[in-house]
Amino acid sequence: RASGSFDVNASFLIAQSLPSSFTLPPKENDTIGGTEIPAPREVRIHVHPEPIKVSYATIRAQLPDILDDFSKTHNGNRPDLIVHMGIASTRPYYSVETQAHRDNYRIPDVDGRSGYQDGEKIWRGKGFPPILMPGPAEGSEDKSAVQTSGLKMVPYPANEHFLQVWKSLLPAETDLRTSNDAGHYACDFIFYTSLAQALEEGRDRSIVFYHVPVTTDPASIELGTKVAVALIKSMVKCWVDGE
């Protein structure tokens, strides 16, 4: 399910093809200062510039660094929304994962290691649950809790409603699905690592994992990019706007 043996990874090509921003219609009652004119909203997309090695130890080390680097260039804030992407070699459709697993990363990574030392052992030691999902902040023991923009939202795992919102933004024939099994390999490991960090930092788990087919022809990358933008719009509509 992850990018072990694929030279050109479709998910990375899609990430590289994302626009740097897009605008969404205004929220009701949001107007431009002193006027009746509705204020459109700009969603800025920050893409990590290189693929992450399919190594449990690398994922564990790199994800916090990526977020810290983002915060340094964004007034100390964490991202409002996070989308991780990967390929699912057995799936000819686009899917959003609903949950991540703590245990049983037995498939060896590119360094021949299982995920026990860099994942399950540490997570069990911290008392993290067997399953983590998107959800609202649960408060943090850490008094130096990280800074966020303060955007109000109520994240939840993609359900039938979320799926219908996502579908409504794309051509009817686009095959979109939810999945509750991210594969117990690098993709699942990234998703759990990211959700666990948000939990530990006392911030909203406003995070999804987006799985794409392996095809890398231009039409597939173009469609995968449109589907990714629609996914981000769905996160805003469902989690921020409460649609």
Residue 3: is its pLDDT beyond 50?
A: no
Stretch among 25-29, 206-210, 239-243 having the lowest mean pLDDT: 25-29
**Structural domains of the chain, ranges and CATH numbers in brackets:** 10-240 (3.40.630.20)
Give mean pLDDT, residues 74-95: 96
Confidence grade of residue 5 (pLDDT, cut at 50, 70, 90): very low
Predicted pLDDT at 2? 37
Q: Choose between 33 and 134: higher pLDDT.
A: 134
Mean pLDDT of 189-199: 97
Residues 222-231 have a mean pLDDT of 98
Tell me: pLDDT of 169 over 60. Answer: yes
Give the type of residue at 173.
E
pLDDT (mean) for 14-33:
85
- % of residues, the chain, pLDDT over 70: 91
pLDDT tens-digit map of 142-151:
545 678 888 9
| pLDDT surpassing 80 at residue 163 | yes
Single-letter code of the amino acid located at 30: D
Contact (CB, 8 A) for 207 and 188: no
Average pLDDT value for residue range 153-177? 98
Report the DSSP beta bridge partners of residue 41: 24
What's the pLDDT score for residue 218? 97
Confidence of residue 38 (pLDDT cuts 50, 70, 90): confident
- Give the mean pLDDT of the chain: 92
Question: What pLDDT was estimated at residue 1?
Answer: 38
d(CA 222, CA 224): 6
In DSSP notation, 9-51 reads -HHHHHHHHS-SEEEEPPPTT-BSTTSS-B--EEEE----SSP
Q: Which pLDDT does position 39 carry in this prediction?
A: 77
Q: What is the pLDDT of residue 228?
A: 98
pLDDT value at residue 123: 98
pLDDT band at 6 (very low <50, low <70, confident <90, very high): very low
Question: What residues contact residue 208 under an 8 Å CB cut-off, 6+ apart?
Answer: 82, 83, 84, 96, 97, 134, 158, 231, 235
Please tell me the predicted confidence (pLDDT) of residue 93: 98
Q: What pLDDT score does 34 carry? A: 66
